[in-house]
Structure 1
Amino acid sequence: MNETAPFRVRAEIDLAALRANVRALRAHAPDAAFMAVVKADAYGHGMVPCAKAAVQAGAAWIGTATPEEALALRAAGLPGRIMCWLWTPGGPWREGVEAGLDMSVSAPWALEEVTAAAREAGRTARIQLKADTGLGRNGCMPADWPELVAASLRAEAEGLVRVTGLWSHFACADEPGHPSIAAQLTVFREMVAYAEGEGIRPEVRHIANSPATLTLPETHFDLVRPGIAMYGVSPSPEVGTPEDFGLRPVMTLTASLAHVKHAPGGHGVSYGHHYVTPGATTLGLVPAGYGDGIPRHASGTAPVLVDGKWRTVAGRVAMDQFVVDLGGDEPEVGAEAVLFGPGDRGEPTAEDWAQAAGTIAYEIVTRIGSRVPRVYVNERPGIGEM
């Protein structure tokens, strides 16, 4: 790739913004350790660079969904505590034990597999017991908790495991006042109290995700697990913008116009002719499409900043490209089209795209595909950051 040539499309990742977001989030939970969640390639931002930046800003833990993600971080040289929680039977338990991962256990089958792996590896596995306090996804149901706790204590007595944590996850923390929040918190406290009463001595107890970190201090316990907020996206737009929470979006997605041309009125644009020019105009071709993670559901609605003005996606988003109606303006071919960013230059944000596509901003940033190069800026902390 010619680094001096304009990019077809690029995602600029501002690691100084990420570090600042980590510091801002830590200030919301000053008495809790910080786990930087970098699952799904750091929500599309690049797992390894973002994990390293988070550690620079004071993250003591790194969190991933899959064991493969966690093992990749270890292979990249990330030290310290790395936790992963989405396991399936036959997973790389032994590799996790040998890499010193903290591995989540939600059911007896998982405890059986991790203890077998510990025997094979000849070393103690670090595990965290997950409680289903009301989300209804992974995690041990309250009725099954005594059995899992008892089995874990037996495995500890054999030296096969060390229970390092007790944890759970909220269903509606992004909706302040939702009755499930208090209900889940009560169940979590009860399940933790039971486990500790039986003899479990966890290093950390944790349930707070991004919205809980920002708005529910009573949920912080020993550790908080921000995910999307770390990347400067509000986990609850109805409650506050990134700026309201002291956060800054980390990703700016831009493309270079591939074509600018005049079109008469009545000219169909893109597949299905869902957009027809209302009069003589100019059309700009943005060389990015759903093959790059641009949501097709944003066809005809999403905003793009071109030549200082907001334009709207004209017609359907195709696999590799989409069109904007420039309204007679004639920017140069190669001119920058800003799909979303922090909003400093008047550009749309990921939340604007989420509204246009009928989804959440989490999905907008996370879905940006591997065909889009990530360009990292501010990789080293500045003097003012230390």
Structure 2
Amino acid sequence: MSQMPLPRRARAEIDLGALRANVRSLRARISPGTQMMAVVKADAYGHGAVPCARAALEAGAGWLGTATPHEALALRAAGISDARILCWLWTPGDPWDQGIEADLDMTVSAMWALDEVVDAARRLGRPARVQLKADTGLGRNGCQPADWPQLVGEALRAQEDGLLRVTGLWSHFACADEPGHPSIAAQLDLFRTMLEHAEKAGVTPEVRHIANSPATLTLPETHFDLVRPGIAMYGVSPSPELGAPADFGLRPVMSLAAGIALVKQAPAGHGVSYGHHYVTAHETTLGLVPLGYADGIPRHASGRGPVLVGGKVRTVAGRVAMDQFVVDLGGDEIAPGAEALLFGPGDRGEPTAQDWADAADTIAYEIVTRIGARVPRVYLNENSDESHH
């Protein structure tokens, strides 16, 4: 096997060995009877849905989760045929027929969705797998408590007619990443009440679930039959308040690197990048990093984003542009093509995704998820028998 040369301009290295280890670490936190869903929505939070889904399944995840049906259908099209896949963000007119044919578990949060999935099941002459989602307080998707009896009743009627099977009941937390937030207990109580109503009415779900990454890590009472870690699986802490990745036995999966495109001498008083928000204090060297906001580098981190170049952490000098930004190398002579490491696990003194989140006043989820398609993903440890860290 000849190794492909590493992309010179930029690359996101995805360590599938770290991802498998994270999945095993998360599974060790849940009780033996509880299943794990690996959430691979948004192209696995920017890490690549298909390779990450396969690695998570190899490490013992039993389910996959996506937001849109199109994401779920793409996993099936890639040959992931035996895993259960739940998708939850449906819009009127979405491909319910294809979802039924692909054996997806499809979330229904409202009567319009139930009507559409039932129509599709009728057309195809085969039952749909449906999970009913309760809005227990997040206020986004999910059925309000007042509308729950109708949704449950109509779903059961369709089940009696052989048009669907209610395979799950679920909800999502608003503030599980804020320890002790009063909404957590309130949502859990309401979830139990809504479960009880559905089960008394005759629903026998295979899985009941509400736990996201922070709840999986810190709230064992929320685990029920299934947990749904997303960001934690990629080795990013769901909340700096709860702890760093290492505190939970997790390791960041993505490292973002680029090759320095140009190094040049600049005199004192030289403006750098649009708007001249940065001006050199004295004679110095400037390095050009060929990544910009079109690649997902937040423009909000202009003047603040950290980058490891030549063994030192430098700061973005001036504005992040569409395709490039500059770092002041302080007179250091760096060869063109030298590595600029924007973030990674932190082993080599490089910044982490959390450091970039801090620099851009956002969360680490957004940093990894927004790395654009122009940045090739390079997969490390693709075979599952790699040595462990």
Structure 2 residue 70 is matched with structure 1 residue 56: no
Counterpart position of 1:369: 372
Would the alpha carbon gap of residues 116 and 313 (structure 1) be closer, same or farther in structure 2, given more than 3 Å must change?
Answer: same
Matched with 1:74 is 76
Question: What one-letter code is carried by the residue in structure 2 that aligns with 1:223?
Answer: L
Q: More deviation in 250-259 or 4-13?
A: 4-13
**Residues 87-236 of structure 1: matches in 2 within 5 Å?**
87-236=90-239
Establish whether residue 318 from structure 1 lines up as the match of residue 321 from structure 2.
yes
Q: Provide the secondary structure at the position in 1 that maps to 2:374.
A: coil
State the Cα RMSD in Å.
Answer: 1.0
1:12 aligns with 2:13: yes
Indicate if the aligned counterparts of 1:119 and 1:160 stay in contact, CA closer than 8 A: yes
Match of 2:241 in 1: 238
**C-alpha separation in 2, matches of 1:130 and 1:4:** 46
The question of whether the paired residues in 2 share the 8 Å contact of 1:6 and 1:334 is answered with no
> TM-score scaled to structure 2, two decimals?
0.98
Query: How far is 1:6 from its partner?
Result: 4.9
Aligned positions, number: 384
What amino acid is the match of 2:209?
A: H
SS in structure 1 of the partner of residue 14 of structure 2: strand
2:287 partner SS: strand
Which residue identity is paired with 2:25?
A: A
CA contact (8 A) 2:72 2:87 kept: yes
Distance in 1 (alpha carbons) for counterparts of 2:386 and 2:354? 32
1:323 aligned partner, one-letter code: V
Structure 2's unaligned 5+ residue stretches are none
Q: Percent identity?
A: 76
For residues 57 and 80 of structure 1, the distance between their equivalents in structure 2, rounded to whole angstroms, comes to: 13
Shift of 1:5: 6.1
On the 8 A contact 2:17/2:386 being kept in 1, the answer is no
Match of 1:46 among 27, 45, 48: 48
Conservation of the 8 A alpha-carbon contact between 1:103 and 1:126: yes
Q: Amino acid of the residue matched to residue 56 of structure 1?
A: E
Residue 24 (1) aligns with residue 10 (2): no
Q: 1:30: how far off?
A: 2.8
Q: What is the distance in 2 between the residues matched to 1:5 and 1:117? A: 46
- State the Cα deviation string for residues 242-292 of structure 1 (Å, max 9, x = none): 000100000000000000011011000000000000111100000000111
Structure 1 gap ranges (5+) = none
1:316 partner amino acid = R
Shift of 1:7: 1.6
Greater displacement, 29-38 / 59-68: 29-38
Structure 1 residue 121: Cα displacement: 1.2
Structure 1 length-normalised TM: 0.98
Matches within 5 A, 1:299-314: 299-314=302-317
Q: Counterpart of 1:167 in structure 2: which amino acid?
A: W
User: Which amino acid counterpart does residue 127 of structure 2 have in structure 1?
Assistant: T
Structure 1 runs (4+) greater than 6 angstroms displaced: none
